[in-house]
Chains A and B, each alone.
Chain A
């Protein structure tokens, strides 16, 4: 990677050194870190000596230092639905939530199915400067499920797309799915599948089970997810490609993925924070804030997902952050849009569901929120160890903090948080993105200035 060495801009904040004192590295021993020129320059007792006189000192006693979180699954809504979210507002929310990289899903309007659209989103991300914004390319033209989009053009664009997904819609045609899996091998891409058999889920409103039977809402059966995952892992095996399964939601899906991994199939899987905590019992309120796709499942599913994330069957946490304007939720259940916000609550929910239950330590947290998603998305400068010479994408977390979720104060435009009113642990105190503090003292600081060369298009993008 090339670091930010924009000539002549001595006033840029990234030119400042940051000396972090006494942070617990991945929840282990406390150490000092010196951040300079976009890199972690020194880790250890000599950091203070190495710092220049003008270095900004951050007292991190009691805080945990973690690699910046990487989200494989974010809906930024731009272009097309800027009333719901923009790259700017979504990436602000991401920085506050402890992310240094997010993947913008392709279901914008126009759909991100050409090099032009993914480059637009990529440039908007660079201009915003709060996190690294990596566009996801659509698998099929217009998410139509008929013809492959120009995956190669997107891969070779300045956005250098590696993750392709029709998320929101399943690539249900088995031949098309097979071809997509095969084709992306040419540029080390991955197909991120939204596993939902369409015929089995026509008009589906919630998990099919005891609660849907009582509420009279059309069921979304677990088998509609599991049957597609079973097919896809076999396709991935057959063509020798890699598959990523988005938002796994059922205990049965976990079993299939566990089986596939045991067979050596190159499959990775993702779970959302909300599927790690919430169940379909909440739908009894008919409050559409709990409407999401795939739907909230049962308590048994929640426990199976947690166990799978702990034992590595599920590789990553992806937020599926899906902001909606309030009118899309202030209506009857069947009319309401599906989706929940998640960027600003992900860390706390995962801490609550996984760390405080003893299922993961902070190193494990870093694995599922940063290391593994960066590897899947092929972001070589993200999810790195907190060691000298590594890119300074890291966060400082106060694990002892407690806060009550209030969607009206969030940076995202979406107010549709299912965690409203819930007291959660953990607070992001600082986020460093390529050495630049986007969040300090738990509040937004300043965005990182985009390297001039990458904006003009005369030089390769900084992170290719």
Chain B
């Protein structure tokens, strides 16, 4: 693994390695001295073109626990509003000898562009790009789910997959990078993924995804999921006619007190409720659900640091046990030889 750009191109083997290393990192977090010398002398730049205190702090804590030097570069707003292009920003960081660039960007594909452009040599970690992917969020969700799944099974987490687990993702899938990353990663790890949301907020083309789609949340809950992941809803979507009102949305697709009680009625004692945060209490999730013992919201935050430590460690420590499958670039621009024939995307 040279970069961590998406979960779609992450092999099961590399995903499990990341999660297993994250378990070791979590153990470090339990020690009195929570710091490892692994990345001493290495520089990690947090390049954030979008406000995100939570994700940035999580990456910062992860890098510092590995003894890396951390530079926070908050290019608030878009690169263009600053009058500086992504290319110039990237080359500035390259000139400062960054070893890894953690990038959050409002444009889908910006991290992939950075990694493939040749503008920099640093490892690129996608910390959320537009409505594309947020791979470390999916990894921390998978980590949280795996611990839960292993505990129910009475086995250690490390090495376990999510085989047999049923995960329901609810809400604005169309605009959610968290949903996309989770769909790919959770299915790669063996889980069955269900989606529920208003048809307007499910992308055209979702039929090709490896999951079942429900327009009715109660029908989806009747499938007895082991975890329900509520996505954050941006209320301004209402203005673009994605749904009539926040109240109607909340009634049909919100995880309210009634649906919380339904889990008890159905005897789903071990079903957990997840949310990537920040939550809109009373909109997509009720306070009772968010604060119930089923909620994994705080565990998710805690696990985020371990997963990000694992990602930075594996990218920067010259990982030799790579899955060779991941080294085959899907980007045709990297394979000039194949252009002469008929690569995908050029109709013969």
A contact residues vs B (CB 8 Å cutoff)? 205, 208-217, 219, 221, 277-282, 284-287, 296, 299, 302-303, 327, 330-335, 353, 404, 420-423
Closest partner residue, chain A, to B114 (CB atom) = A332
Contact in complex: B332, A333 (CB < 8 Å): no
14 further A-B contacts with Cβ under 8 Å, apart from A212-B204, A217-B130, are A205-B108, A213-B206, A216-B177, A279-B346, A282-B345, A282-B346, A284-B345, A285-B116, A285-B333, A302-B347, A332-B107, A332-B113, A421-B340, A422-B340
Contact A279 B347 (CB under 8 A): yes
A211 contacts B205, CB within 8 Å? yes
| A–B Cβ pairs within 8 angstroms, 30 of them | A208-B204, A209-B204, A210-B208, A213-B209, A214-B8, A214-B205, A216-B132, A216-B133, A216-B177, A217-B131, A219-B204, A279-B345, A281-B344, A286-B110, A286-B113, A302-B347, A330-B87, A331-B85, A331-B113, A332-B86, A332-B105, A332-B113, A333-B109, A334-B130, A335-B79, A353-B347, A420-B339, A421-B339, A422-B339, A423-B339
Q: Is B131 touching A216 in the complex (CB atoms < 8 A)? A: yes
Greatest chain A CB density within 10 A among B109, B177, B203, B336 is at: B109
Closest to B331 in A: A285
- Residue of B whose beta carbon sits closest to that of A422: B339
User: Is B112 engaged at the interface, CB distance under 8 Å to the other chain?
Assistant: yes
A281 in contact with B177 (CB, 8 Å): no
A210 to B203, CA, bound (A): 9
Which residues of chain B in 186-207 are interfacial with respect to chain A, using CB atoms and an 8 Å cutoff? 203-206
- Distance, CA A216 to CA B180, complexed state (A): 8
How far does the alpha carbon of A281 sit from the alpha carbon of B342 in the complex, in Å?
12
Output the nearest chain A residue to B207 by Cβ-Cβ distance. A210
Nearest A residue (CB) for B338: A421
CB of A420 to closest CB in B, whole Å:
8
Q: Which residue of A286, A353, A422 is within 8 Å of B112 (Cβ)?
A: A286
Question: Is the pair A215, B336 in contact by a Cβ cutoff of 8 Å?
Answer: no
User: Counting chain B CB atoms within 10 Å of each CB, which of A211, A327, A334 scores highest?
Assistant: A334
* Chain B residues near A285 (CB-CB < 8 A): 112, 116, 331-333
Which A-B residue pairs are the 7 nearest by beta carbons?
A: A286-B109, A213-B205, A281-B345, A216-B132, A216-B131, A282-B345, A213-B203
Q: Within 8 Å of chain A (Cβ to Cβ): is B80?
A: yes
Within 8 A of A (CB), among B68-111: 78-80, 85-87, 105-110
B345 touches A334 (CB 8 A): no
Looking across the interface, which residue of chain B has its beta carbon closest to that of A402?
B340
| A-B Cβ contacts below 8 A, count | 118
* Measured CA separation A254–B336 after assembly (Å): 33
Q: Say yes or no for B234: interface residue by CB 8 A criterion.
A: no
Q: Which residues of B contact A335 (CB under 8 A)?
A: 78-80, 86, 107
A423 and B205 contacting across the interface, CB-CB below 8 Å: no
User: Chain A residues with Cβ under 8 A from B106's Cβ?
Assistant: 334
Q: How far is the CB of A204 from chain B (nearest CB, A)?
A: 12
Chain B residues closer than 8 Å to A217, beta-carbon distance: 108-109, 130-132
Residues on the B chain within 8 Å of A280, using CB:
345
**B117 close to chain A: CB less than 8 A:** yes
Q: Are A303 and B340 in contact (CB under 8 A)?
A: no
Residues from chain B with a CB closer than 8 A to the CB of A303 are: 347
- Chain B residues closer than 8 Å to A420, beta-carbon distance: 339
Task: Check if B330 is an interface residue, CB within 8 A of chain A.
Answer: yes
Closest to B184 in A: A214
B116 touches A287 (CB 8 A): yes
Q: Contact at B130–A216, with CB atoms within 8 Å?
A: yes
Is the pair B345, A213 in contact by a Cβ cutoff of 8 Å? no
Residues of B within 8 A of A278 (CB): 345-347
| Residue pair B132, A215 in contact (C-beta under 8 Å) | yes
The answer on a CB contact under 8 Å between A284 and B330 is yes
- Residue among B78, B180, B205, B208 facing the most chain A CB atoms (10 A cut-off): B205
Pairwise interchain contact B331-A331, C-beta atoms closer than 8 A: no
B109 touches A332 (CB 8 A): yes
Q: Closest CB-CB distance, A252 to chain B, in whole Å? A: 14
Set A214, A215, A221, A423: member contacting B340, Cβ < 8 A: A423
Bound-state Cα–Cα, A422 to B335, Å: 11
Given contacts A213-B204, A332-B110, whether A284 and B347 have CB atoms under 8 Å apart is no
Please name all residues of chain A whose beta carbon is closer than 8 Å to the beta carbon of B205 when the two chains form the complex.
208-214
Query: How many angstroms between the C-alpha atoms of A420 and B343 in the bound complex?
Result: 13
Residues of B within 8 A of A302 (CB): 347
Closest Cβ neighbor of A298 among chain B residues: B347
Verify A334–B340 contact, CB threshold 8 A.
no
The complex places the Cα of A289 from the Cα of B135 at a distance, in Å, of 26
Write the nearest CB–CB distance from B133 to chain A, whole angstroms: 7
CA distance A380 to B144 in the complex (A): 73
Residue contact B113 to A333, C-beta cutoff 8 Å: yes
Q: Which residues of A contact B80 (CB under 8 A)?
A: 335
Instruction: Report the minimal beta-carbon distance from B13 to chain A, rounded to whole angstroms.
Output: 22
